[in-house]
Structure 1
Amino acid sequence: MADVTVRGVIFDIGNVLIEWQPERFYDRTVGEARRREMFAAVDLHAMNDRIDLGQGFRDIVHETAAAFPAFATEIRMWHDNWLDLAAPVIDRSVRLMRALRARGVPVHALTNFGIETFALARGHFDFLDEFDRPFVSGHLGVIKPDEAIYRLVEEDLGLTGDAILFTDDRAANVDAAGARGWRTHLFDTPQGWADRLVAEGLLSEREAA
C-alpha cells in the first residue's frame, strides 16, 4: 500500500457520480433516428458548454431552439426534462465518496456544471451537498480543461501537485490536471476507481467494496 500523501480527493460529477448521456434520453423519448438527425444538425454539447460557463440555462436552450425550429420541441426538453438527462446515480461512486469522508479525507468536486443546473441537481441528489468544497464551472466562469480552473482550485485549497488526486471521465480533463502535477485517474468504472483509492492507501479493500 502506498504512503498516504494525498491531502484532497477531487471527483468530477458527470459520468463519475451521475451518468450523463443525453443521447440515451433522446433515444428513449424521440427515437434513435430522430436523435441522430438532431445531433448532426445542432451542436447541443456546445450549447451545454455555454450553460456550464454560467450563461442562463433557460435562455440558452430557448435561443438554440429558436435557431433550429425543426427541432425546437426536442431542444427545449434539454431544459424541461433536465433531471431525466442526468440519471441515474452511479451508486458505487457515491459510496466511495462517503467512505473517503468517513476516513477523514477531504473530498471535493470539480465539475463542468451550470449555475442553475447545479442548483437543480443539488435539490435532487443529496450527496452533492456532502463535498468539502464544490468547484462548479458556472460559478467560476471557466470550464475544464482550461488550465485556469485547476489553478483556481489549487489557490482555494492551498494544495498543489501530487497532494491532489483527481478523477474524471474525459481524457482531456485528466491530462490538463496531470500537466499541473496532480495525481489523476481516468474514470472508466467504479471498480477501477475503487482499486486506485486502495492502491493510494486512502481506503481499505473492505471500505472500497
Structure 2
Amino acid sequence: MKPEAVIFDIGNVLIEWQPERFYDSAIGADRRRAMFAEVDLHGMNDRVDLGGHFTETIYGMAEATPAWRDEIRMWHDHWIEMASPVIDRSVRLMRALRGKGVPVFSLTNFGIQSYDYAATHYDFLREFDRDFISGHMGVIKPDVRIYEMLEAGCGVAPERLIFTDDRPDNIAMAASRGWRTHLFEGPDGWAARLVAEGLLTEEEAA
C-alpha cells in the first residue's frame, strides 16, 4: 500500500541550515565557538520558530548581549546566507511527486517572517499542497502536538503518511504516531526510498 502523502522537513532537507558554518566563515571558528558557548542562539531561534517576531526577537537578544551585539544581529541580517545552499535534488524530488499528483506537505520549524522572507528567494517554498509551519502553529518539533495538528489538518491516516527529516528525535516522534519515516542523510537515500515506496520511478527520481 503506497503512502498517500509525502511530508518534507525543510532545513537540511531542502535547504542547508548550518549557522555554525556561516559564523566560522564570517568571524572565525574560535570566536564562533566562544559566542555559541556564551549565547543561546539556537534557543533564540526556537523562539522565532514558536512564533516570535523574527526581527524583534533577534535584535532584542543582540541589545541584551552587547558583547556580541553585531554578531547576533548577523543571524537576522545574513539569514539567507545561513539558510543556503538549496539541496537541488530534494527540490526535484518534491516537484516530481507533485507532478504525479502526490500531495506534498511541509512540516518545519520555521518562523513566520523568516519563512516569508525565505520564500522570496526560494520559490519552491510556495509549492507545497499544505504548509505546516511551526511559527503559525505555535509549537515546534518534536512536540507531539505539531504531529497531531498535521494529522487533523491533512485528513490522511498516519500510516499513509511518509515523512523525511534530518533529526532523529523528530523522526522518532513521527514513527511513534504510526507514520512511515525516513531519516534524511542526503537526497540519494531519500530518492531511493521514494522509489521503493512506489511513489516515483528511478527515472522520475533521478
When the two structures are superposed, what TM-score results if normalisation uses the length of structure 1?
Answer: 0.97
- Aligned: 1:178 with 2:200: no
- Aligned equivalent of 1:97: 94
Matching of residues 15-26 of structure 1 within 5 Å: 15-26=12-23
Q: 1:191 aligns with which of 188, 191, 206?
A: 188
Question: How far apart, CA to CA, are the structure 2 residues paired with 1:91 and 1:44?
Answer: 28
- Aligned equivalent of 2:118: 121
Q: 1:10 aligns with which of 7, 12, 23?
A: 7
What SS does the aligned partner of 2:156 have? coil
Cα shift readout 1:56-93 (whole Å, capped 9, x = no counterpart): 11111112112221111000001111111100000000
Question: How far apart, CA to CA, are the structure 2 residues paired with 1:11 and 1:38?
Answer: 31
- Aligned equivalent of 2:27: 30
Question: How far apart, CA to CA, are the structure 2 residues paired with 1:46 and 1:188?
Answer: 24
2:205 partner letter = A
When the two structures are superposed, what TM-score results if normalisation uses the length of structure 2?
Answer: 0.98
- Aligned equivalent of 2:107: 110
Question: How far apart, CA to CA, are the structure 1 residues paired with 2:157 and 2:98?
Answer: 20
- Aligned: 1:160 with 2:148: no
- Aligned equivalent of 1:75: 72
Question: How far apart, CA to CA, are the structure 2 residues paired with 1:75 and 1:59?
Answer: 12
Question: How far apart, CA to CA, are the structure 2 residues paired with 1:103 and 1:189?
Answer: 22
Q: 1:141 aligns with which of 119, 123, 138?
A: 138
1:184 partner letter = T
Question: How far apart, CA to CA, are the structure 1 residues paired with 2:94 and 2:182?
Answer: 15
Question: How far apart, CA to CA, are the structure 2 residues paired with 1:14 and 1:79?
Answer: 16
1:160 to partner: Cα distance: 2.3
Question: How far apart, CA to CA, are the structure 2 residues paired with 1:78 and 1:24?
Answer: 12
> C-alpha root-mean-square deviation of aligned residues, in Å?
0.7
Cα shift readout 1:181-208 (whole Å, capped 9, x = no counterpart): 0000000010000010011000011111
Question: How far apart, CA to CA, are the structure 2 residues paired with 1:130 and 1:66?
Answer: 37
Question: How far apart, CA to CA, are the structure 1 residues paired with 2:102 and 2:194?
Answer: 11
1:161 partner letter = P
1:156 partner letter = G
- Aligned equivalent of 1:56: 53
Q: Structure 1 unaligned runs (5+)?
A: none
2:38 partner letter = A
Question: How far apart, CA to CA, are the structure 2 residues paired with 1:195 and 1:162?
Answer: 20
